[in-house]
Amino acid sequence: MSYTFGTTASRGVVSKLLLAGYEAVFVGGAVRDLLLGKEASDIDIATSATPAEVKEVFVHTVDVGIQHGTVLVLFEGEPIEVTTYRTEGTYSDHRRPDEVNFVRTLEEDLRRRDFTMNAMAITLDGSLIDPYGGKKDIANRLIRAVGNAEERFREDALRMFRAIRFSAVLGFAIEQSTCHAIDLLANEIRHIAAERLKAEWDKLFLGREPLQAFQYIQETGIGLHLPAYPAALMTACMQGPFLSPLDGWAAFLIAGNLEPAELGRAYKLSNVEKAYLQSVHAAIHMREKGLYTNVDYYRFGERVLLTAESIFNCLHPLEATIEMDEIKGKIAALPIRSKKELAMTGNDLLIWSGEKGGRWVGEWLNKIEQAVILGDCLNEREEIKEWFLDEFERER
């Protein structure tokens, strides 16, 4: 069987390397995704050329990870990653292999890869190179380590969590001896850097079967060693599927009864991610006190409230639900969506009051914003002027 593979640009890159006398093939996740009939995300190319040789073949290149053998080639306006055939040693700092050795054969390169389904290559003319039986494992929907699973997980413990992440993404089972090796080495995951785990969690949450992954996490005991992992992720409807990684993190937060800052620290979440989790956390608190006010609809917005509501329903299955349409409707009916939509500006306050500028201007803009959201005052210039002069006078 022959496969047509790659974008025009990536085929162009492989062609040029072949013409220059090197080997070059498509590898990794994109090959797996092709056999699965899925759209490939990013196409990786492996080559026998060293990074220096790759840079000689192409005019535009960027050194993105040259010490690991990766050069980014800009070809017909597309960025394409080209990695030299390599093996890697152990990961004694659990982040990066101690050393990578460039090798001249594809076989050796494929052998260092994690799972059989990820250890295949396709040539430009479409033949599949599959020394470890990846195609068969894909047909049987199995995640199987390349070689001896125990050895491979001792080299890099992240691979255990990657197996679990792929079980969520693909809905595949983890082959028995591979799964057994996870049971055995589960506690090794404690050495893995938070950022590496976080990247896999993000993909796990987006998977079609996160529940399957949560089951593996529980069964293998790896959950005991994953930072802050809450067993309650397994229960009721905390199981996903999640609309975004952040919704997964929100379920993680609430299931674990964690503080957003605590979870943020455990997985080195970004400030944007932490702020989102803070909002969901605060929204669920408001919701537990009763229904949302217009101020809540305004400050939390649709995305946070939809997530908060679905988690609230899990926590309190007997309470009435606020339907999605109601949340959307309430937000659509708000007189303004941000302060910028007010029918006046801070400058108007100076004119209307005859006072000099100062901190009070911002404070009064906030009060006007509140009054408009609560419906105490229409968002019309004259109405706001009247409301403001009344209140301003009264507070003096």
Site membership for ligand ATP, residue 147 (CB under 6 A):
no
The helix (run of H) or strand (run of E) holding residue 27 is strand 24-27
The two beta strands, 44-47 and 24-27, are antiparallel
- For ligand ATP, the nearest residue by Cβ is 29
Q: Return d(Cα 245, Cα 250) in angstroms, integer.
A: 9
Give yes or no for a contact between 50 and 66, defined as CB atoms under 8 angstroms apart: no
Least Å from the CB of residue 40 to Mg ion: 9
CA angle, 87 then 90 then 91, to 5°? 115
Q: Return d(Cα 151, Cα 92) in angstroms, integer.
A: 14
Strand partners, 129: 121
Q: Return d(Cα 288, Cα 268) in angstroms, integer.
A: 29
Residue 175 interacting entry, from ligand ATP, Mg ion, none, C-beta within 5 to 8 Å by type: none
Give yes or no for a contact between 91 and 191, defined as CB atoms under 8 angstroms apart: no
Of 337, 279, 274, the closest CA to residue 311 belongs to 279
Q: Which two tokens stand for residue 368?
A: 């006007």
Binding mask of the shown chain, residues 12 to 41, with x at each position contacting ligand ATP by CB under 6 A: ----------------xx-----------x
Minimum CB distance to ligand ATP smaller for 94 or for 274: 94
Of 114, 247, 296, 369, the one binding ligand ATP by CB under 6 A: 114
- Interface stretch with ligand ATP, choices 151-159, 269-277, 339-347, 361-369 (CB under 6 A): 151-159
For 326, phi and psi rounded to 5 degrees?
-70, -45
- Interface stretch with Mg ion, choices 25-33, 71-79, 231-239, 257-265 (CB under 5 A): 25-33
Of 374, 395, 371, the closest CA to residue 385 belongs to 371
Of 12, 29, 65, 346, the one binding Mg ion by CB under 5 A: 29
- Interface stretch with ligand ATP, choices 112-120, 137-145, 217-225, 254-262 (CB under 6 A): 112-120
Site membership for ligand ATP, residue 118 (CB under 6 A):
yes
Q: 122 in helix, strand or coil?
A: strand
The helix (run of H) or strand (run of E) holding residue 13 is helix 8-19
Least Å from the CB of residue 372 to ligand ATP: 46
- Interface stretch with ligand ATP, choices 1-9, 53-61, 152-160, 292-300 (CB under 6 A): 152-160
For 313, phi and psi rounded to 5 degrees?
-65, -35
Least Å from the CB of residue 119 to ligand ATP: 6
Of 203, 265, 299, 328, the one binding ligand ATP by CB under 6 A: 203
Q: Give CA 349 to chain center in angstroms.
A: 44
Minimum CB distance to ligand ATP smaller for 118 or for 220: 118
Q: Which two tokens stand for residue 47?
A: 């080559």
Q: Tell me whether the omega of the peptide bond preceding residue 335 falls within 30 degrees of 0, making it cis.
A: no
Site membership for ligand ATP, residue 11 (CB under 6 A):
no
The helix (run of H) or strand (run of E) holding residue 220 is helix 210-220
- Interface stretch with Mg ion, choices 24-32, 160-168, 191-199, 327-335 (CB under 5 A): 24-32
Residue 159 interacting entry, from ligand ATP, Mg ion, none, C-beta within 5 to 8 Å by type: ligand ATP
Least Å from the CB of residue 28 to ligand ATP: 4
Least Å from the CB of residue 147 to ligand ATP: 11
Site membership for ligand ATP, residue 156 (CB under 6 A):
yes
Site membership for ligand ATP, residue 142 (CB under 6 A):
no
Chain residues in the site for ligand ATP (CB under 6 A): 28-29, 41, 113-114, 118-119, 156, 158-159, 203
Chain residues in the site for Mg ion (CB under 5 A): 29
